[in-house]
Amino acid sequence: MTDLYRKIESEFDSSEREAEINTFWDKHAIFQKSLELRANSPRFIFYEGPPTANGMPHIGHAIARTIKDTVCRFKTMKGYLVERKAGWDTHGLPVELEVEKMLGISTKDQIEKMGIEKFNAECKKSVFKYKAEWDEYTRKLGYWLDLSNPYITYTNDYVETVWWILKKFWESKLLYKGFKILPWCPRCETALSSHEVAQGYKEISDPSIYVTIKVAGTTDTYFLVWTTTPWTLISNVALALNPSENYVTVQYGDSKLILAEPRLGVLQGSFEIIDRKKGSEYRGIKYEPLYSFMKIEKGHYVATADFVTMEDGSGIVHIAPAFGADDYELGMQEDLPVVQAVDIEGHFVKEVTPWAGWFVKKADPEIIKDLERRGLLFHSTIYTHNYPFCWRCDTPLLYYARSSWFVRTTAFKDKMIEANNKIAWYPEEVGKGRFGEWLENNIDWALSRERYWGTPLPVWLCEKCEAEHCIGSIDELRKMAVDFPKVDDPYKDFDLHRPFIDNIHLKCPSCGGTMTRVTEVIDTWFDSGSMPYGQVHYPFEHQDDFEKRFFPAELIAEGLDQTRGWFYSMLAISVFISGRSSYKSCVVNNLILDSEGRKMSKRVGNVIDPKKLLADYGADAVRWYLMSASQVWLPKRFDEKSLNEVIKRFFSTLQNSYSFYALYANIDRFRPAESDPPARERTQMDRWILSRLQWMISEADESLAENDITRCTRAIADFTVDDLSNWYVRRSRRRFWGSSDDHDKKSAYQTLFECLITITRLMAPVAPFLSEDLYRRLTENLGGHLPSVHLNDFPKAEESLRDKSLEEEMEIARKVVELGRAARKDSSMRVRQPLSRLVALGLSDIERQMLKKMESIVADEINIKRLDFDNNEAAYFSMKAEPDFKSIGPKFGPRVNEIAGKIKSMTRDQISKLMADERFSWADDGHVSSIEMSDVRIKIVPAEGYSVSADGRIKVALDLRLDDDLVAEGNARELVNRIQNMRKAAGLEVTDRIMLGISRNAETEKALAKFSEYIKSETLTEHLTDKSELRQSQEFELNGIKTVIALERI
């Protein structure tokens, strides 16, 4: 006869199971059916952040994708239509650098020599280099996405939408060309935006030097100047002092040094102040330049500026307008030249003869040596600081005067801040802190990139009148172009990328002249930030239903590094275009670190291979661990031991509970029937677990609704392990196999089935594979159930089944049982040895009443005959308090010995009050001293014949005195345990009957005299003899006497 409930194989392989489940989902189109089922339901709009598919997925992607999948599955089960469109970020430096590596090139000259067309063709091929790996990773992780119809940022549809957005900025005069100091990557030869720079900071060591610059017309007077970029001294054109601060001239050895008075601490040794002036009085004083490689007509004098601070250095700043924002602004005010001694690759130009062609950072040590040789180096040291590196190629950035195209985000900064305040951030401090502060300090978006593979900046300039025009659509381009190629479908037959777009010219609407496109492409973050619109080709499609179906998103979820990346670009674009944020809530996950708390890197060798991880442990275990180990927004130490613990504690326990159910339900051919028997007619234990189940449903529902997946997973695991398995199933075992009461057995089956199937639905969003597997095993042969757990609704708590009084009664019973077990363990008394009584101490009258209702459970759990109550604790134990000096030392300082003495002299009543209130105070001479439980160690000394355990005010005393009847019963229980273990070792089925032989001696005679029927009933024994020649036999000691047990199946 076929089993109703499939057994879980002993050699269970989670990755094999998950592969089978994936096949089942594909074969039966479960993902599609979950959408079709909700086709007419309210929408939960979700945006998938686009990864770049020319790099392999890593373990960090697992946490964000688990969060997103969990929320989307949960919302689907809550009755929403949740469409999930995949996306790919296909432009920009990440792609270009991979192609450069593949082609063995590294400069823009090499790219242009091979041809932009060929290079971009390679880029287009490269973008999906690892798409198969990404798709497989997504599938194995159980992340449901529509991978068949993704948005792709390089398509003409998407680019056209981006152009439309850019034209909106241009029409509002918020897209402009400017000349500013920009973060510049000398390797990629392009400017970067502030949000790109924010992603690439590293801690490095750089030189910190003080140089002396001679005042013109003097022989021994010098300005003392501090810099951390010696290479910029080549381009120095001025010195800046704070006009309102005091500056002093000091006699320092044979020289006179000028520096800010608040910064005199930088001088070592003795000196004498010989003059004092305000910084403003130095304005216009000339000095002798350190270097004269670059000829200038104006410069090398003192200017004043408020940005000069007294916090570090000498209070005198060297000014090189080509390499600093403050320097540039001061240079503009003073009409100083921008001396560019460095080329776009970060190398000194030929005029800087000693170091021509050197990368500037590598030239620093040689410049320092040169200054020292010339007697101009006052002091040199190394300091550690955070410095920006290119977020993609890892090259140190330079701040470089350069023309670029900008989006004037500062014009609507306040609107972005207002919109951000309406976003629900998880955690809240990211939105208010890291992101909010970023917005407060917003600067214009440096948009253009002097690169090749990207969305072309759709700005054309007239060669004749210098007019400017921004194109906002393909149709507009065709109408204005004088040389657009003849094609049937411009979306399919014309590539909008370089170099093809560079060959398209427009007729100037102002003068009729020829307009040529600027050469730049745009920041790839603008592409990804446009995805709410670009993914559906808005406004060229979906004008009527855009805000109903696609905007804004209820949720986005990505890593903390996206705070100044995707989160910012999406907000900036949508606030301008739509007047509000494109996302209502955002869950931000933190980094995954190694087990020692270090960032993962190939250099350190601590990178985890996600493919191997999924193969070894399965996706569900990884997902559950990542969600439950700690809140997702905290840095997470990844530890495979803890991952194994998830499997052992929760997954294995749940599967064991199912296996227990399936074993006996198959024997009895049990088929569950809703409300049969009704919950109110079931046993106390059934009603209790059903009440706890309702609590757990509410807890899971509420926590997932608040995007608190950690709280949800912990609640489910604790319920499954502590309430269901360790308490309900363990206490109900004999009801399943030994009960002669059909109603009671049916009640137990029905209750356990309801718990198990509800757990599968509750855990489905986080652990989609195991939940599906157990759900199918529970339902596939019953009929009347949906084919997949993921097509079910999320459970709803039935308040009518909630019995809080019963839960409180059981809670105190479990507490007393826990203490009773501890007391038995401390006494070394065998668990199977019955004892006469347990005395509960310190309970209130209400607690006594509640516990009295649970007396049979307590008695059975602790193996006692009766439960007593008493308030006379002194009859059972004495107490002594000892100080914990590690705790009270820092707290009380010089009074520690006084407090220690008070603790040692505490009376029994005082100790009891401390244990009850977890705090105790003394008043001496008007001075109050308070201690807490953590300040003391309570030593309990049991009275003769008792073992005592305590937790705060609740204590139990276990009576250890034995009589002959108790000893006999203990022996009987020990025999039953030995026999059951032998049955298991012999491979007997739970229903097999046996012949049993027990050797006779003083100890076995005691047991058999009173408990032979008990032994036979518990072990399914048909015939009990004293034979020891049966098929299976074992010798052991029973209370020190050798005893033989033998058995064989009948």
Active site residues: 50, 89, 525, 562, 566, 599, 602
CB 72 within 8 A of CB 522: no
Residue whose C-alpha is closest to residue 556's, from 533, 587, 580: 587
In 38-177, which residue ranges form alpha helices assigned H by DSSP? Answer: 59-77, 93-103, 108-114, 116-126, 131-141, 156-171
Burial of 1045 (C-beta count, 10 Å sphere; 0-12/13-18/19+): buried
Contacts of 169 (CB under 8 A, 6+ apart): 175, 407, 408, 576
CB atoms within 10 A of CB 386: 9
CB 1050 within 8 A of CB 1019: no
Cα-based angle 32, 38, 39 (whole degrees, multiple of 5): 85
DSSP 226-259: EES-GGGGGG--EEEE-TTSEEEEEEETTEEEEE
* Residue 1000, token pair as written in the block: 């006779």
Which residue type, as a one-letter code, is found at position 71? Answer: V
DSSP 498-532: TTTGGG-EEE-TTTS-EEEE-S-EE-HHHHHHTHH
Residue whose C-alpha is closest to residue 853's, from 836, 867, 873: 867
Parallel, antiparallel or unpaired: strands 424-426 and 255-260: unpaired
Instruction: Give me the residue label for tokens 């060591």.
Output: 205
Residue whose C-alpha is closest to residue 423's, from 583, 589, 632, 590: 583
The span from the first CA to the last CA of the chain, in angstroms, equals: 22
Which residue type, as a one-letter code, is found at position 393? Answer: C
Q: What is d(CA 184, CA 168) in angstroms, rounded to the nearest whole number?
A: 27
Q: What is d(CA 586, CA 448) in angstroms, rounded to the nearest whole number?
A: 28
Omega before 552 within 30 of 0, i.e. cis: yes
CB 701 within 8 A of CB 735: no
CB atoms within 10 A of CB 264: 15
CB atoms within 10 A of CB 274: 10
Length reported for the chain = 1050
Instruction: Give me the residue label for tokens 């004269």.
Output: 292
What is the Cα Rg of the chain in Å?
Answer: 39
SS3 of residue 301 by DSSP: strand
Dihedral angle over CA of 16, 22, 26, 27, nearest 10: 40
**CB-side neighbour CA atoms (13 Å) of 182:** 29
Q: What is d(CA 814, CA 530) in angstroms, rounded to the nearest whole number?
A: 57
**CB-side neighbour CA atoms (13 Å) of 503:** 12
Residue whose C-alpha is closest to residue 162's, from 90, 108, 97: 90
CB 948 within 8 A of CB 942: yes
* Residue 654, token pair as written in the block: 């749940």
Maximum distance among all alpha carbons in the chain?
122
Contacts of 499 (CB under 8 A, 6+ apart): 115, 116, 117, 120
